Structure 1
Amino acid sequence: MRLSEFWLAVADEFGDAYGRILTRDLVLGDIGGMTADDAIKAGVSVRDVWLALCSAMDVPEERRYGVGRREPKKP
């Protein structure tokens, strides 16, 4: 997962404003008690941060994988 895909997934799942609040303020136990923003800055895999955020927010499994991917470019 790329960082741009992470932000698309956050916006899709939580909305832009609330998603930014969550990534800034919510402490995620699955990634060592850091916020998503801090974990990304510390070099934690963006995919791991996404999954930790999903876990903390009880996002159903079916909405955790494959989100944030952009539509393929059309020829």
Structure 2
Amino acid sequence: MRLTDFWDRLDQVFGPGYARSVAHDQVLSQLNGRTIEQALAAGEQTVRVWRAVVAAYPDRVPPKLR
């Protein structure tokens, strides 16, 4: 998954303004206690980070974006 696709999906799920806040502030256990931004900066694959988002917010992510 391209990084631009990742951010597009995150924007679709949370809205453009709130998506950046989630990426910056929310620590996800699926990312070993890191935020989305920290995981991406550390070189984590975007597909793995996306799967962590889906696991952390299963009710928010629509099936077409999983």
Q: TM-score range by the shorter chain?
A: 0.7 to 0.9
Structure possessing the higher relative contact order (Cα contacts under 8 Å, 6 or more residues apart): 1
Q: Percent identity?
A: 32
Structure 2: how far apart are the matches of 1:61 and 1:10?
Answer: 11
In structure 2, the partner of 1:6 is 6
Structure 2: how far apart are the matches of 1:39 and 1:54?
Answer: 15
User: Structure 2: which 5+ residue stretches go unaligned?
Assistant: none
In 2, are the aligned partners of 1:24 and 1:36 still within 8 Å (CA)? yes
User: Structure 1: which 5+ residue stretches go unaligned?
Assistant: 66-75
One-letter identity of the residue aligned with 1:18 = Y
In 2, are the aligned partners of 1:51 and 1:64 still within 8 Å (CA)? no
In structure 1, the partner of 2:38 is 38
Aligned residues: 65
Structure 1 residue ranges, 4+ long, deviating more than 2 angstroms after superposition: 58-61
**Structure in which a larger fraction of residues adopt helix:** 2
Of structures 1 and 2, the larger Rg is shown by: 1
In structure 1, the partner of 2:63 is 62
Given the two structures, how large is their TM-score scaled by the length of structure 2? 0.87
